[in-house]
Amino acid sequence: MKHIVLFVMALAFCCMPMTHHAQSKRKKKKNDKTEAVTPAPKKNQGKIKAYDKVITKDAISDDGLFKVHKVGEKYFFEIPNEHLGKDMLLVSRIAKLPANLGGGYINAGTKTGERLVAWERFDTKILIKERSYNSVADEELPISISVKSNNYEPTLFAFDIAAFSKDSSAIVVDVTKFYSSDVKAISGLPSRLRTTYKVRNLDASRSFINSMKSFPQNIEVVQDMTYNASQPPSARSAETISLQMNQSMILLPETPMQPRFADERVGWFTFSQVDYGSEQLKADTKTYIRRWRLEPKDPAAYARGELVEPVKPIVYYLDPATPENLRPYIKAGIELWQGPFETAGFKNAIIAKYPPTKEEDPDFSPEDIRYSVVRYVASETRNAMGPSVSDPRSGEIIESDIIWYHNHLRSYRNRYLLETGAANPAARTLNTPAEDIGEMMKMVIAHEVGHALGLPHNMSASKAYDVESYRDGAFTQEFGIASTIMDYARYNYIAQPGDQNIRFIRQIGPYDHYAINWGYRNISTANSAEAERNTLDAWILEKAGDPKYVFGKQSSRFDPTSQTEDIGNDAIKASNYALSNLKYVAQQLPKWTSDQTNNYDDLEELYGELLGCYNRYVGHVLSNVGGVEEHLITPRQGGIAYQAVPKQKQQASMQWLHKNAFETPMWLLDKSMLQNINYAGYTDRLRRLQSRYLNGLLSFDRLGRLIDHEAINPTNYSALSMLQDLRKGVWNEVNYTKNVDVYRRNLQRVYIDRMQYLMTEDLDPRQSRQYFNVSQSDVRALVRGELNTLKRQVAAAGNRAVNTVTKYHYRDCVKRIEQILDPK
């Protein structure tokens, strides 16, 4: 009897429905049954109605991935049994939104959620379970049991089974509540915005399902959601936020694309998995790149080296809202990438199409996940973006939307005038020639498409070219201004007046061809990601040592060779050329703006942006001080991964900063211009700029690096040397009997305040790695020593000061220093 009981219990256990996903690296076989449909228990049978009682003759039905039915005010999914347990992506996007939601950086088309889900049967319910492939193990290994147990996945929603299809091949559930109530997993309002706008609740009486359509691989649902909010971003008196959301659910491929391992020496957007089945005596993190699935139509011809079209090309549609005059430039910007894809062996791999008419495609919608769209956004925000949606199992990019904000071209017009106007007559106007505007837009679109193809910023690309090359017309026409369009190198600000045939606007470069080939070329001989590694490594080693193919991380803020907005391989020389040009532009700015418009609005805007240019040029040189060059290499390549900037270059950079940043740049202070754009604030505007440079030099991070560098090599530029050089320059007047003007007085007080910060504060973990203990380091001893030296010098200078203001200033500085050294 005991054996019979045990047998019955075991049988019952084996027949229980699955409630979680078995995370595994093993590919599923086509005939695998991921979910067995069990009959509803008799005790609950009464809750499940006959099909005709639920899906009545009045139903409006749409067949596709699931059959979708509208019966009166209710919506139903008829889910085929064969799709239970299948991986799907649930993508939430905003289709329409109120003005200024999120401060201008949220727009129609913004993705608010992306979840891997599966529909699963449990008893008399259907569950939407969120799945994850962040932690994996081959299901043949015992540890896969623990992976599943320690990564239990959440249930997003539970539906009662309403009916079974007449042939029992599908299950009917009512999805009305899921799509019309405030389900946080698919909401367009995250917690941050709910707090900001004081959202109280979703108003059910003003929220409804707008439409629901089913296609062979996806379902698209449009919701109108209205929230009661005390402080909405616009129309405040209505105390209402209304959003239109688009929910896309797409069936992922049965067989995931073969992933490709990432290598930090070539820049790609990536995703990682923790493999608990690794033999590395630890959970092994494996990182792969994100890319589109491109497979050759003719593999044999591709293997022979012929250009072959892909089975499924990458297609971008233009937003119907795109102005007609800009459409050719956007299309051209997208298709610029055909060249790099040809390097990877694919012909017509990426195609741009104008939006279809209603007659051509009545179902076309920019929110539909079947379409990748360049969205044109009516917003005052000056920006563009290139986000994408990818399969979290393999990194396959499924769809992407390029976001272009309407006002973005104004930023490019302004910087074109400021950065190239000295050498480029075409830029010396507020009415930039249409062909130049078009060329700028084409390249910005190409940059954003590069992101959508999988490429991050490469901030080392501009160092590939010698500074003097930017004054060579033939060179710039062939190679542009950086080795990739993915750098933040927008314009050639180095070329000087009189230089001929110069290209001023960026373009696709050799690194783009190299990176696309590395990420997209089909390696037919490799049937796994691991089998590709030797080939991928060999492609990198072929280009090793050539600066045109170097990748620099945007996150390497300590690396002066991997900076944003810079061009050329010598920051000092490049910034000298840049400032020479900017001084000329500053002189001509009223002539090019207010003299033409008869108002000062453009002059004020451009003067503010001119200060931004100046700030960037100074910042490029400042990065040399305490800088570390990061070389992304492997041990077999040899060399040093992190190398301090040479001492001579750091010393030269300090001298340059004193001359161009800390000595008052009077050319920025043209009173005839300043007095026409503001009534006050002239001195403080410059103080804010100079304080940024001083605070940057006197940072814990920089001082810590300098201390480390001297410890590694005593001949390196030291923290003490930097502090002494800075003090001698900023306080140069104490060595002479001379007045100190208001700008220098402000600068010197900034210096004292920052030294006080170094004496009393600590590293900000939000801004840096906490890699040394400040209070137990040399930092405060060095700062104390410098303040004592400065106190003696300032006290002596105060006795021989020429005018009263300078005398008062020195006395005040002495008191400030004393309070820092002895706060009691």
CA distance 127 to 178: 11
Q: Cα angle at 184 between 245 and 243, to 5 degrees?
A: 25
pLDDT of 38 reads 45
Amino acid present at 400: S
- The structure tokens listed for 524 are 């037919």
Which 3 state secondary structure label does DSSP give 721? helix
Cα-to-chain-centroid distance, residue 387: 8
Look at the chain and count its residues.
Answer: 824
Strands 240-251 and 218-229: antiparallel
148 or 395: which leads in pLDDT:
395
Q: What percent of the chain has pLDDT over 90?
A: 78
Q: Helices 434-453 & 327-335, crossing angle to 10 degrees?
A: 40
371-423 residue pLDDT tens: 999 988 777 777 777 788 899 999 999 999 888 887 788 899 999 999 999 99
Q: How confident is the model at residue 26 (pLDDT cuts 50, 70, 90)?
A: very low
What's the whole-number mean pLDDT along residues 688-709? Answer: 96
CA distance 387 to 402: 7
pLDDT of 28 reads 42
pLDDT of 24 reads 45
Q: Cα angle at 530 between 526 and 531, to 5 degrees?
A: 25
- The structure tokens listed for 251 are 């069936």
Q: Does 137 score more than 60 pLDDT?
A: yes
Q: Does 32 score more than 80 pLDDT?
A: no
pLDDT of 10 reads 41
CA distance 468 to 526: 44
CB atoms within 10 A of CB 753: 15
Q: Does 152 score more than 80 pLDDT?
A: yes
477 or 802: which leads in pLDDT:
477
pLDDT of 795 reads 95
241-280 residue pLDDT tens: 999 999 999 999 999 999 999 999 999 999 998 888 877 7
700-727 residue pLDDT tens: 999 999 999 999 999 999 999 999 999 9
Decide: 189 and 334 in contact? Cβ < 8 Å: no
Q: Cα angle at 571 between 568 and 576, to 5 degrees?
A: 100
CA distance 763 to 748: 23
CB atoms within 10 A of CB 116: 19
Q: Does 46 score more than 80 pLDDT?
A: no
Q: Does 27 score more than 80 pLDDT?
A: no
Decide: 76 and 175 in contact? Cβ < 8 Å: yes
Decide: 183 and 154 in contact? Cβ < 8 Å: no
- Please tell me what DSSP assigns to residue 87: -
What's the whole-number mean pLDDT along residues 200-216? Answer: 94
In terms of C-beta distances under 8 Å and separation of at least 24 residues, what long-range contacts does 711-720 make, across chains too?
712/644, 713/644, 715/647, 716/644, 716/647, 717/625, 717/626, 717/644, 717/645, 717/647, 717/650, 717/651, 719/778, 719/779, 719/782, 720/782
349 or 103: which leads in pLDDT:
349
Decide: 379 and 103 in contact? Cβ < 8 Å: no
What's the whole-number mean pLDDT along residues 203-223? Answer: 94
pLDDT of 134 reads 85
pLDDT of 768 reads 60
pLDDT of 37 reads 47
Strands 74-80 and 67-71: antiparallel
- The structure tokens listed for 529 are 């990601």
632 φ, ψ to 5°?
-80, 95
CA distance 477 to 486: 18
Q: How many helices (H) and strands (E) does the chain have?
A: 24, 23
Q: Is the pTM of this model over 0.85?
A: yes
What's the whole-number mean pLDDT along residues 445-450? Answer: 95
Strands 314-318 and 372-377: parallel
Of the candidates 563, 712, 722, the residue with the CA atom closest to the CA atom of residue 654: 722
Tell me the HSE value of 232 on the side-chain side, using a 13 A CA sphere: 19
pLDDT of 45 reads 55
Q: How confident is the model at residue 141 (pLDDT cuts 50, 70, 90)?
A: confident
- Mean residue pLDDT of the chain comes to 91
- The structure tokens listed for 143 are 């540890």
CA distance 712 to 769: 20
- The structure tokens listed for 539 are 């492609």
Q: Which residues pair with 76 in a beta bridge?
A: 69, 174
User: Which regions of 340-415 does DSSP assign to beta strands (E)?
Assistant: 350-353, 372-377, 384-385, 388-390, 397-405
DSSP assignment string, 200-244: EEE-GGG-EEEEEEE-SSEEEEEEEEEEEESS-SS-GGG-EEEEE
- C-alpha torsion angle, residues 323, 325, 329, 335 (rounded to 10): 70
- The structure tokens listed for 600 are 């000062």
Q: How confident is the model at residue 740 (pLDDT cuts 50, 70, 90)?
A: very high
Lowest mean pLDDT among 2-11, 460-469, 791-800: 2-11
103 or 173: which leads in pLDDT:
173
CA distance 581 to 21: 62
Q: What percent of the chain has pLDDT over 70?
A: 94
pLDDT of 368 reads 87
Q: Does 17 score more than 60 pLDDT?
A: no
Decide: 92 and 388 in contact? Cβ < 8 Å: no
Lowest mean pLDDT among 46-50, 370-374, 539-543, 621-625: 46-50
Q: Which residues pair with 94 in a beta bridge?
A: 245
